[in-house]
Structure 1
Amino acid sequence: MNTIPQPPADRIHIGQLRAAYGIQGWLWVYSNTDPMANLFNYLPWWIETPTGWKTVDVKRWRTQGKGLVVLLKDVADRNAAEQLTGVNIWISKSQLPKPGLDEFYWADLVGLTVLGTDEAGKSVNLGQIAELFETGANDVMVVRATADSVDGDERMIPWHVDVVQDIDLEARQMRVNWGADY
């Protein structure tokens, strides 16, 4: 592990070291990538520990059951692995491939203002995207109220071609076919 003064300014969260696995320093790793093994395509990783930001190098990894385990360089035993339990994994966003036309990274959507409609069909601010998650049918955006939103409601809005109408990353907003009264 190498100490670096500053993590990348464009860092993006791609996973987490979850728990020690075995006695030789292996760790369970949770991946935010799809497919989950893509996590290992984006090296080096940056982690934040109580002593500061560090880069970590992957020595080996493998699937284990329905999950992933990783052996990091300089993590020699279970005690060292346990010190990394719960640590988030970050990379520079510049390491990711450019999204295709009409494709977006979830991290780019978080924080967008969502504009829907009121009963009269006028545009209203529904809040900001706080997070996204997968379901069996489609992905869902969690839209939380802000000081500027039409009300104080939190909304679960499906990510669907009939709902998402327009995304403007530069203006930091999204238009949806979704009423304020839904």
Structure 2
Amino acid sequence: MTSTQNVPENRIQIGQLRSAYGLNGWLWVYSNTEPMSNMFDYLPWYIETKAGWQTIDVKRWKPHGKGLVVALKGVNDRTGAENLVGANIWIAKSQLPKADVDEYYWSDLKGLTVLGLDDEEQEVNLGQIYELFETGANDVMVVKATPDSIDAEERMIPWHKDVVQRVDLEAGRIYVNWGVDY
């Protein structure tokens, strides 16, 4: 691990160091990538610790059970690993491949305003995308109310071609075929 001031300004979180594994400095790692092991295609990693930003290099990694464990250069014992537990793993966003047409990175969708329809088919603000998650059928947007939204409701809106009508990243909006009373 190396202290760094050169943290990419335009970065994306791809995972988190979850818990120490064993006595030799290994850690359980959570991956936001699909498949999970893709996170090792994007190096170096940046983590923010109490000591500031660090660049970390992966020494080794392996699948273990239903997850992944990783050995990091400079982390040689359990105490060193425990000091990193909870640290988010970041990379430069420029390392990711460009999304195809009509495909989006979840990180680009978080925070967008979701516009739906009221009973008179008028456009209304339903809130902002707070998070997304996968289900067996399709992804789901968790939309939380904002001071500008039509009500204080939290909504779970499926990411489906019949629901998502248009995404305008530049304007920060998603247009959905989703009523206020759904």
Task: String of CA shifts for 1:41-86, please: whole Å, max 9, x gaps.
Answer: 0100000000000000000000001100000000011111111111
Query: 1:9: which partner in 2?
Result: 9
Partner of 2:134: 134
Structure 1: gaps (5+ residues): none
**Paired residue for 2:105?**
105
Note the aligned Cα RMSD (angstroms): 0.7
CA distance in 2, matches of 1:65, 1:142: 29
Deviation at 1:35, TM superposition (A): 0.4
Give the alignment of 1:61-140 within 5 angstroms.
61-140=61-140
Q: What CA deviation, in whole Å up to 9, does each residue of 1:90-114 have, x standing for no partner? A: 1110110000111100000001100
Partner of 2:55: 55
Q: Give the share of equivalent positions with the same residue, in percent.
A: 68
Q: 2:152 aligns to what?
A: 152
Q: Aligned runs of 1:17-56 on 2, under 5 Å?
A: 17-56=17-56
Paired AA for residue 62 in structure 2: R
Deviation at 1:181, TM superposition (A): 1.1
Moved more, 131-140 or 170-179: 131-140
What displacement does 1:6 show?
Answer: 4.5
TM-score relative to the length of structure 2: 0.98
Partner SS state of residue 126, structure 2: strand
Amino acid paired to 2:109: L
Secondary structure of 1:75's partner? Answer: coil
Post-superposition CA distance 1:5-46 (Å, at most 9, x none): 242111111100011111111100000000000010010000
Q: Which amino acid aligns with 1:77?
A: D
Gaps of 5+ in 2: none
* Count of aligned pairs: 182
